[in-house]
Chain A
């Protein structure tokens, strides 16, 4: 079992429960992807901007590759600068095209392993983008990119805060895909507007791709029709706020969440870090805490801080206070790897 752990102070690799020597020690790593023989890492150097590195030998050596860049900004009253702030999502389709979701809201693709990037203009130029706004960051961002395993021209992206958008033609045209979500934080007349929803994370089931799960700012939602419509799942416990969600790749009815108290108090309920799991499509949940800290725990798990492997058996959980846990039994019990890592942004299995 090999796991990549992207943190505020470097990229760590967990190999058979042992943490190996870190890559990019001291630098924030916001996303990581292994695609065929290549390993990709996105860095946010703060002073010197967003950078991307690629390794063809599993991290023995790295080379700098291009980063997505926004086109020249036309003169307008738009408040969002057309400047790359962060790569928030990085995925690859079966044709080896890389897809990068970014703050301030641009989706990019690369057909040459990151040597060059193309902005998906058809989404960026949508007039609805003017209504998007930042969620957690100053500007809106794409944090989820779901590529349909049946047809890689069908891509669904999740935006905080801009709802969900879907293309069925490889990015030529886009439509809103967040109907049924509601936003408690908006005035009543805008509550159901699909374009201003804040899905914190959206995942798609690999074996039943019409099934999606979303951890939204104010609840859990599920879609069984390819994200044409969403229904709220109200049985989630101990609370409905959170960032992360993972779905079992072979069972669309099984999903995991990491609830926190609420938006203005982003800590575990009663100081107990737990994972909520459903095995019946959200009708009921088990609250799993065996092996996780059950008193004075203030760990928050970000959008990409929960991962499931291709078998659906192994899980990984990484927190903002540097806690890392793994489970080999679908979350029934957890093994603590560390409580002293830098703040964790993303965990990802190597498979």
Chain B
């Protein structure tokens, strides 16, 4: 099952420990996580269902979109872009 890791900076605002979740795309895996922990959704996606402007997703070390496929052993990292100050 793919593994999802959230930036530690998000932990300050909402509980989001690393977890395993099923799915064939980044979007499907994240949806599974949001189903378990609904409060995380609004921190990662905006109300139009898109990744927030300053949130990046990496799959196995490569920058990815929500529609990108993932496999059973994928590691999905949800990071904040280093914008703002």
* Interface residues, chain A, with chain B CB atoms under 8 Å away: 45-49, 51, 64, 67, 69-70, 72-73, 81-84
Contact = CB atoms under 8 A, between A and B. Distances in A.
Contacts of A67: 42
Nearest to A82: B48
Contact of B43 (A49, A73, A84): A49
Contacts of B42: 48-49, 51, 67
B52 to A, nearest CB: 6
B48 A48 contact: no
A47 B47 contact: no
B39 A64 contact: yes
Contacts, number: 43
B48 A47 contact: no
Contacts of A47: 9, 52, 54-55, 80-81, 83-84
B84 A46 contact: yes
Contacts of B84: 46-47
B28 interface: no
Given A46-B83, A51-B13, A82-B47, 14 more contacts: A45-B43, A47-B9, A47-B83, A47-B84, A48-B10, A48-B13, A48-B42, A48-B43, A48-B52, A48-B80, A49-B43, A64-B39, A81-B48, A83-B48
Contacts of A84: 46-47
The 3 closest A-B pairs by CB, nearest first: A69-B47, A47-B80, A48-B43
Nearest to B52: A49
Interface of B: 9-10, 13-14, 39, 42-44, 46-48, 52, 54-55, 80-81, 83-84
B48 A72 contact: yes
Contacts of B44: 48
Contacts of A70: 47-48
A82 B46 CA distance: 10
A47 B83 CA distance: 8
A48 B51 CA distance: 10
25 contacts: A45-B13, A46-B54, A46-B83, A46-B84, A47-B9, A47-B55, A47-B80, A48-B44, A48-B52, A48-B55, A49-B42, A49-B43, A49-B46, A51-B13, A51-B42, A67-B42, A70-B48, A72-B48, A73-B48, A81-B48, A82-B47, A82-B48, A83-B46, A84-B46, A84-B47
Contacts of B83: 46-47
A73 B44 CA distance: 19
Contacts of B52: 47-49
B13 A83 contact: no
Contacts of A64: 14, 39
Nearest to A8: B85
A75 to B, nearest CB: 12
A47 B78 CA distance: 11
A83 B47 contact: yes
A274 to B, nearest CB: 31
Nearest to B44: A48
Contacts of B43: 45, 48-49
A47 B14 CA distance: 13
Nearest to A43: B13
Nearest to A72: B48
Nearest to A66: B42
A223 B48 CA distance: 39
B64 to A, nearest CB: 17
A186 to B, nearest CB: 30
Contacts of A72: 48
Contacts of A69: 47
Nearest to A50: B42
A76 B42 CA distance: 25
B31 to A, nearest CB: 17
A72 B80 CA distance: 25
Contacts of A73: 48
Nearest to A71: B47
Contacts of B10: 48
B57 to A, nearest CB: 13
